[in-house]
Amino acid sequence: MSHEILANWNGVEMPLSEVTVSALDRGFLFGDGVYEVLRVYKGQPFLEAEHLERFRRSLDKISIVCQVDRLIERMQMTLENSGVTEGMIYMQVTRGAAPRTHRFPSGDVPPNELIYVEPMEVDHYAEAREQGAAVITVPDLRWKRCDIKSINLLANCMAAQQAAEQGCIEALLVNADGTVTEGSHTSVFGVRDGHVLTSPLSPSILPGITRGLVTRLAGRCGIPLHETSFSAEEIPQLDELFLTGTTAEVVPLIRVDGNLVNDGHPGPITRRLQRAYQEFVAESLSI
Ligand code: PDD
């Protein structure tokens, strides 16, 4: 495997470093596009159907017309040619390049379609998964359609940066009404009296693919789960907290805004769901 990250740009395979984008690309000018991130385990995309279904929904919701089946073929080809076994696939489609006007361009402007496959040489979450991680809470400054996996991520980036500056792995986003919606790039779960809580699906959160899997795994494990949000004020009453995401998997939280969760130790329900997640990955690879 070469060290170059392999990309497919509008149907042409090339090193990612050689992809050039028009300054009039609407993704570049307006953030007018959507994306998807998939994890690759042992050379196989994980929960591929679920990610692609969400990608189709994101495209539909912003009325970008694109042949997803063609993208899937390119994705499989790029993955194979990259030789990556442990890594992630990034997929992005923008409304294409056209003279700058806010309204969508008229006529046949082809979308710009990018796919790249990045090897994961280091698993940045490995220690957090084992030891538990610290987070902060910040106001959720995002727009009102967080269910769309839009490439507009400024509020998410600002929140993640604030967390990093405080030595934390993630920022939990808190709505004006005090509810915790999700993380800047992860879904959030709480545990209270043996019951798992997570925000219900709504335009305020991304329908996380890992979130969906973990809710199903909780069912398999006989752990009661409620799609009910909790507020930032209620965090001290939670017994456990954890994050989920494609690359994060399941990460226990042991500190929120400097206050310990479960005396600073990953809790038993989080550990059970981490094991169930690993078992599910192993199962899905052996099929
Ligand atoms: N982030 N919430 C937000 C705002 C996210 O950006 C993500 C994913 C998640 C978790 O979703 P999933 O389980 O489908 O990965 C929740 C991706 C990985 C990213 O932006 O890199």
pLDDT at 27 over 70: yes
Question: Which residue out of 57, 185, 189, 249 has the highest number of ligand 1 atoms within 8 Å of its CB and is therefore the one to mutate?
Answer: 185
The mean pLDDT of 83-106, rounded to a whole number, is: 97
Cβ–ligand 1 contact at 54 (below 6 Å): no
Phi, psi of 279, deg, nearest 5: -65, -40
Distance CA 254, CA 42 (A): 30
Task: Determine the pLDDT at residue 286.
Answer: 80
Cβ–ligand 1 contact at 25 (below 6 Å): no
DSSP count for the chain of H helices, then E strands: 7, 15
Question: Which residue out of 55, 172, 186 has the highest number of ligand 1 atoms within 8 Å of its CB and is therefore the one to mutate?
Answer: 186
Q: In angstroms, what is the span from residue 265 Cα to ligand 1's centroid? A: 25
* Residues annotated catalytic, as ranges: 149
Cβ–ligand 1 contact at 208 (below 6 Å): yes
Residue 144 identity (one-letter amino acid)? K
Burial class of residue 14 in the structure, from the number of CB atoms within 10 Å of its CB (0-12 exposed, 13-18 middle, 19+ buried): middle
Residue 278 identity (one-letter amino acid)? Q
Beta bridge partners of 240: 191
- What percent of the chain stands above pLDDT 70? 99
Please give the mean pLDDT across all residues of the chain. Answer: 97
Helix (H) or strand (E) holding 201: none
Task: Determine the pLDDT at residue 1.
Answer: 44
In CATH, what is the architecture of 6-119? 2-Layer Sandwich (3.30)
Task: Determine the pLDDT at residue 179.
Answer: 98
pLDDT at 206 over 90: yes
Beta bridge partners of 12: 9
**Nearest residue (CA) to ligand 1, atom 11:** 208
Q: Beta strand pairing status for 180-183 and 112-119?
A: unpaired
Please compute Rg for the chain using Cα positions.
19
Pick 126-285's CATH classification: 3.90.1150.10, 3.20.10.10, 2.40.50.100, 3.40.50.720. Answer: 3.20.10.10
**Nearest residue (CA) to ligand 1, atom 1:** 185
pLDDT at 89 over 60: yes
Domain ranges of the chain: 6-119, 126-285
Cβ–ligand 1 contact at 245 (below 6 Å): yes
**Nearest residue (CA) to ligand 1, atom 9:** 186
pTM over 0.95: yes
pLDDT digits (tens, 9 = 90+) for 108-154: 999 999 999 999 999 999 999 999 999 999 999 999 999 999 999 99
The mean pLDDT of 46-53, rounded to a whole number, is: 98
The mean pLDDT of 194-199, rounded to a whole number, is: 98
CA 187 to chain CA mean position, Å: 8
pLDDT at 48 over 80: yes
Helix (H) or strand (E) holding 91: strand 87-94
Tokens 């009102």 belong to which residue?
A: 144
Distance CA 136, CA 232 (A): 10
pLDDT at 214 over 80: yes
Give me the DSSP letters along 110-176.
PPEEEEEEEE-SS-TTHHHHHH-EEEEEEE----S-TTS-BS--HHHHHHHHHHHHTT-SEEEEE-T
Q: In angstroms, what is the span from residue 149 Cα to ligand 1's centroid? A: 8
DSSP label at residue 67: -
Cβ–ligand 1 contact at 37 (below 6 Å): yes
**3-state class of 41 per DSSP?**
strand
Q: The dihedral of CA 187, 188, 194, 200: what is its sign?
A: negative
Cβ–ligand 1 contact at 246 (below 6 Å): yes
Task: Determine the pLDDT at residue 109.
Answer: 96
